[in-house]
Chain A
Amino acid sequence: GQQLNQSPQSMFIQEGEDVSMNCTSSSIFNTWLWYKQDPGEGPVLLIALYKAGELTSNGRLTAQFGITRKDSFLNISASIPSDVGIYFCAGQEVGTASKLTFGTGTRLQVTL
C-alpha cells in the first residue's frame, strides 16, 4: 500500500526555536491529520485538516493542507522540552473511505 513520505526523520533543536516538518504523498488526499506520540503511549491527535489550503492552529502548533492535496505541513513555534516525541502525519486517500495511511514519523528532540 501507499506510504507517506515524512521529513525530516529526526531533528535536534534548541528550546525556543521554531520547527517545521512535512508530509508528501503520490496520491490526492481528502483529509490530513497530525499526531504526537510519547514513549509507551498511543498517538494523540493534534490537528485535523479537511480542505485544500486550510490552515489550522492548536496553541503553538500550526498545520496546513497543501493546495495540491498531496502534502501537509506542521509547524511548532517556540519549542519547549515537552514537545519532545514522535510526530506522525496521516491522511485519508481519495476513494479509501474508513482507512488512513500513516507516515513513518519525525522524532523531535529539544535541548535546553
Chain B
Amino acid sequence: DAGITQSPRHKVTETGTPVTLRCHQTENHRYMYWYRQDPGHGLRLIHYSYGVKDTDKGEVSDGYSVSRSKTEDFLLTLESATSSQTSVYFCAITPRERGTDTQYFGPGTRLTVL
C-alpha cells in the first residue's frame, strides 16, 4: 500500500462541465502521475509532477491540466469535459528512495461524461 487515495471514486458529469479529480498521498513522495485507462490502449500518461509546482505533459495531455501546490496533493482538471474523456483515471507515485522507475497506483476514479 503506497498510501494513495483518489477522490471521487466515481463521477458522472455532462459534456462541457469542469471536473477536478484529486490524488492524495501521505508519504511525501516527490513524483506523482496521472494516467487514463481505456480498453485496447492500456495505461496512458496524461501529466506528471516531479515536485511542488513542477509538472510536465504526458502523451495524452490535450484537454487536461494539473496542479500541485502541496507535496501530498496532485489535481487533474478537465476544463470542459467531453465524451472522449470518459475513462478510468489512475494516480501513481514513485517512492523517493526508489528513483524514477517503479510506480505504485491508487484505486482509480471512474469518470463518465454524458
Contact = CB atoms under 8 A, between A and B. Distances in A.
A3 B41 CA distance: 9
Given A42-B90, A45-B102, A105-B42, A1 B59 contact: yes
Nearest to B56: A98
Contact of B108 (A3, A4, A42, A45): A42
Range class of the A interface residue count: 20 to 34
Interface centre among A1, A3, A99, A103, by most chain B C-beta atoms within 10 angstroms, is: A99
A31 interface: yes
Interface of B: 31, 40-45, 48, 50, 58-59, 90, 94, 100-108
27 contacts: A1-B59, A3-B42, A30-B101, A33-B102, A41-B107, A42-B90, A42-B107, A43-B43, A45-B102, A45-B103, A48-B101, A48-B102, A50-B101, A90-B103, A92-B101, A97-B100, A98-B48, A99-B58, A100-B103, A102-B42, A102-B43, A102-B44, A103-B42, A104-B40, A104-B41, A104-B42, A105-B42
